[in-house]
């Protein structure tokens, strides 16, 4: 790639970052540049295209109509360039370079450590860029091309452009402390459970959607309660007696008691998501193969 083409790519990335941050100064921080350097790169791209991409009013910027229409095209151009680079690099068979993965805190703490240990030992030339985020955010980042793989709680319904693969079934249990009023009941219905405070996964999460679907199947409805995205926090809150909740069976400990609720059986699916149209790097293919080998050993 010649110097002009390389500079054009840099200008495109600068434009995309400024558009996403809605700020030249925030873009400069992310790109480790000065604000004048960001302004100069954007101005160079605007000159090349022959149209303003941002309206500049005082210290604020906003995309022009041309900028809004060009933004998805700019992202596609960079994705195509990255895809071509991966395709060419893959021809060598070398497993190296950066591998960007998004994963949830729960999976990162409870499922991935042995995988990452073995992967780093087997492929020392791969630089792992492991980003912790909600599974829903990781899926979106794979859709937009910002991440190559997501190792996540899989969505309940297929998402556009994503291929999902189950690696770990993750049974969930309804739990309370041994001192909870319901702890003495060997079997109950959801209406009895719903009379007590709940500590729920945040709305919109795949785990919450799974719980809501199960509750609807028994004719119930979840009432608003305390919510959090972090299962470790839920475990702590249940453990000190603040209410009932659902937790992965793998997280249960002696201070918690499992309740049997008629008609409710919950299992999440944990696994890999990747973009269907993206050429995977050798590093991503190696990571997928390692995860798939774990599935066959279950």
Question: How would you label 48-70 residue by residue, b for 16+ Cβ within 10 Å and e otherwise?
Answer: eeeeebbeeeeeebebeeebeeb
Q: Give me the phi and psi of 174, to 5 degrees please.
A: -85, 125
Alpha-carbon gap, residue 246 to 231, rounded angstroms:
9
Question: Are residues 174 and 239 located together in one domain of the fold?
Answer: yes
Work out the average pLDDT over 118-138.
95
What are the pLDDT digits (tens) for 213-235? 999 999 988 887 899 989 999 99
**Whether the predicted pLDDT of 88 surpasses 50:** yes
Whether residues 145 and 276 fall in one domain:
yes
User: What pLDDT does 80 receive?
Assistant: 81
Q: Does 6 score more than 50 pLDDT?
A: no
Q: Which of 62-66, 79-83, 263-267 has the lowest mean pLDDT?
A: 79-83
Number of domains in the chain: 3
Domain shared by 126 and 274, yes or no: yes
Is 18 in contact with 64 (CB distance < 8 Å)?
Answer: no
pLDDT given for residue 95 in this prediction: 87
Residue range 170-209, pLDDT digits in tens: 999 999 999 999 998 878 999 999 999 999 999 999 999 9
- What is the domain extent for residue 105? 95-168+270-296
Tokens (6 digits) for 29: 């921080």
pLDDT of residue 82: 80
Are 26 and 147 members of one domain?
no
Q: What is the mean pLDDT of residues 227-252?
A: 93
Q: Are residues 113 and 137 in the same domain?
A: yes
Model pLDDT, residue 297 = 62
Task: Please state, as a whole number, how many other Cβ atoms lie within 10 Å of the Cβ of residue 18.
Answer: 26
- Which string of DSSP letters, residue by residue, matches 203-239? TTSHHHHHHHHHHHHTT--PPP-EEES-HHHHHHHHH
Mean pLDDT, residues 42-67: 92
Q: What pLDDT does residue 12 have?
A: 92
Residue-level pLDDT at 86: 73
Structure tokens at 124: 């020392």
| Helix, strand, coil percent content, the chain, rounded in steps of 5 | 50, 25, 30
Each residue of 129-165: pLDDT tens digit?
A: 999 999 999 999 999 888 999 999 999 999 999 999 9
Contacts (Cβ under 8 Å, ≥6 apart) of 295: 166, 167, 168
Same domain, 163 and 196: no
149 and 16 both lie in a single domain: no
Instruction: Answer yes or no: is pLDDT of 44 > 80.
Output: yes
Domain with residue 129: its CATH number is 3.40.190.10
CATH code at position 31: 1.10.10.10
The overall average pLDDT reported for the chain is 90
Could you tell me the end-to-end alpha-carbon distance of the chain, in angstroms, rounded to an integer? Answer: 46
pLDDT tier for residue 298 given thresholds of 50, 70 and 90: low
Which tens digit of pLDDT belongs to each residue from 253-262? Answer: 999 999 999 9
Boundary residue ending a domain (53, 73, 89)? 89
Q: Do residues 82 and 206 both lie within one domain?
A: no
Among 89, 106, 125, the domain-final residue is 89
Same domain for 276 and 222?
no
Average pLDDT on 272-280 reads: 91
pLDDT at 177: 95
- Say if residue 84 is in the same domain as residue 100: no
Question: Is there a single domain that holds both residue 50 and residue 66?
Answer: yes
Of the pLDDT bands very low, low, confident and very high (cuts 50, 70, 90), residue 275 is: very high
Q: Who wins on pLDDT, 125 or 8?
A: 125
* Residue 43 in tokens: 């101005």
**pLDDT above 50 (res 7):** no
Query: In the chain, how long is the greatest CA-to-CA distance?
Result: 74
Is 13 found in the same domain as 74? yes
Q: Where is 186: in which H helix or E strand?
A: none
- Could you say which of 59, 74, 89 is where a domain stops? 89
Q: Which two tokens mark 285?
A: 């293919």
> What predicted TM-score, i.e. pTM, was given to this entire model?
0.75
Assess whether pLDDT exceeds 90 at residue 92: no
């Amino acid at each position: 790639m010649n110097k002009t083409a390389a500079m054009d790519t840099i200008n495109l990335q600068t434009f995309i970052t400024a558009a996403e941050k809605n700020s030249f100064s925030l873009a400069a921080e992310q790109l480790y540049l000065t604000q004048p350097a960001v302004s100069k790169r954007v101005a160079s791209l605007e000159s090349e295209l022959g149209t303003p991409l941002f309206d500049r009013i005082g210290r604020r910027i906003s995309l022009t109509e041309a900028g809004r229409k060009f933004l998805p095209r700019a992202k596609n151009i960079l994705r195509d360039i990255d895809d071509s680079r991966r395709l060419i690099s893959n021809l060598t068979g070398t497993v190296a370079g950066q591998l960007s993965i998004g994963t949830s805190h729960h999976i990162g703490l409870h499922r991935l450590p042995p995988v990452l240990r073995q992967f780093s030992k087997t492929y020392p030339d791969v630089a792992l860029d492991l980003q912790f985020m909600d599974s829903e955010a990781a899926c979106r980042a794979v859709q937009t091309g910002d991440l190559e793989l997501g190792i996540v709680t899989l969505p309940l319904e297929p998402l556009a452009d994503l291929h999902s693969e189950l690696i770990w079934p993750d049974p969930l249990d309804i739990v309370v402390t041994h001192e909870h009023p319901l702890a003495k009941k060997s079997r109950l219905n959801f209406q009895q459970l719903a009379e007590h405070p709940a500590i729920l996964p945040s709305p919109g999460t795949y785990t919450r959607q799974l719980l809501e679907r199960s509750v609807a199947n028994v004719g119930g409805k979840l009432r608003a309660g305390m919510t959090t995205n972090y299962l470790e926090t839920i475990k702590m809150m249940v453990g000190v007696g603040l209410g009932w909740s659902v937790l992965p069976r793998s997280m249960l400990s002696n201070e918690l008691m499992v309740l049997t609720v008629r008609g409710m059986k919950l299992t999440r699916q944990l696994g890999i998501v990747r973009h269907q149209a993206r050429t995977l790097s050798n590093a991503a293919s190696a990571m997928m193969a390692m995860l798939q080998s774990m599935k066959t050993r279950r």
